[in-house]
Amino acid sequence: MNAHTQELAWDREYKKPLVLSPSNKPQSDVVRFKDWLKKKGRKEDNRIDFTELAVLDLGSGTGRNSYYFADLGALVTGYEISETALNVAQEYAKKSGLPITYEKRSIGCPFGLTNESVDLVIDATSSNSLNKEEREIYVRECARVLKQGGMLFVRALCKDGDKNARTLIQNFPGPDSDTYIHPDIGVVETVFSKEEFLKTYSEYFDVAFLDKTSHYPAIEGRKYKRNYWIAYFMKKPL
């Protein structure tokens, strides 16, 4: 499945959401990451001033996490592949006066930012639709644009202990191992074992925090369990 097909599938989903939340509030896992950063700063006697930070929101969607960091005072750039999602995000940013720069861009291609220009990168279940080659570019680009000591937040689909994921892989196999084509929205999704998840980022990042969590999204009134990896990665020193 090529990138254009994925783009069309996501655009359909944003026009008529089946799995995406219509909420404009930040995702709870992202809020907990922000709280962790503040606590870490206090512990190290280096309090974080978000007005001094540059944030890159990958797969920014309609902007829920971008708005959150921009409202804290951060300089935010959002990358999104869906034109529909971008239009919604840009309209809200305009009305709210939040200084967010949005770009229509695949996160599996080189980022349009200079080296070491970003403090935080947010990937809230956005890179799971990338193929192997795109994912290699995405990880390398995250490391390139992050400043020394910069951090990458990742929420990714977890294979371990997820019966639903195993069923989807068996019944709707995708183009790569541990992938499936979502039967409702038509996008390819990757689920990771713990070993594969950490290996994906190990060349460029150290793990500062790792957890496994579950959410219960609904499709047309049917709730189902999904497991996620939540990781806070710190860019390795050069």
The two tokens of residue 176 are 């790569």
Under a CB-based contact definition with an 8 Å cutoff, are residues 213 and 156 in contact? Answer: no
State whether residue 56 is helix, strand or coil.
strand
| Inside any domain, residue 179 | no
pLDDT of amino acid 18: 58
Q: Is residue 199 in some structural domain?
A: yes
Strand 146-157 relative to strand 179-181: parallel, antiparallel, unpaired? unpaired
The kind and range of the H/E element at 122 are strand 118-124
Q: Which residues pair with 78 in a beta bridge?
A: 57, 102
The number of folded domains in the chain is: 1
What is the pTM assigned to this prediction? 0.91
Tokens of 25: 């509030």
Is 64 within the bounds of a domain?
Answer: yes
Q: Would you say 111 and 173 are in contact if contact means Cβ atoms under 8 Å apart?
A: no
Range of the domain at 110: 3-157+192-235
Residue 113 to residues 67, 70, 117, 204, Cα–Cα distance (Å): 20, 18, 7, 18
Question: Which pairing describes strands 100-104 and 226-235: parallel, antiparallel, or unpaired?
Answer: unpaired
Q: What secondary structure letter does DSSP report for 27?
A: P
**DSSP-based helix, strand, coil % in the chain, nearest 5:** 35, 30, 35
Q: Identify the three-state secondary structure at position 180.
A: strand
| Below-70 pLDDT ranges, the chain | 1-11, 13-15, 17-23, 217-223
What CATH number is given to the structural domain containing 38? 3.40.50.150
Q: How far apart are CA 86 and CA 58, in angstroms?
A: 12
Question: Do the domain assignments include residue 166?
Answer: no
Residue 99 lies in a domain: yes
Residue 141 to residue 70: CA distance in whole angstroms: 22
For residues 226 and 216, give the distance between their C-alpha atoms in angstroms, rounded to a whole number: 6
**Does residue 164 sit within a domain?**
no
**pLDDT, tens digit, for every residue of 76-90?**
999 999 988 898 899
Q: Is residue 63 part of a domain?
A: yes
Q: Is 74 within the bounds of a domain? A: yes
Scanning the chain, the segments in alpha helix (DSSP H) are 3-15, 28-43, 64-71, 83-96, 132-145, 163-171, 194-201
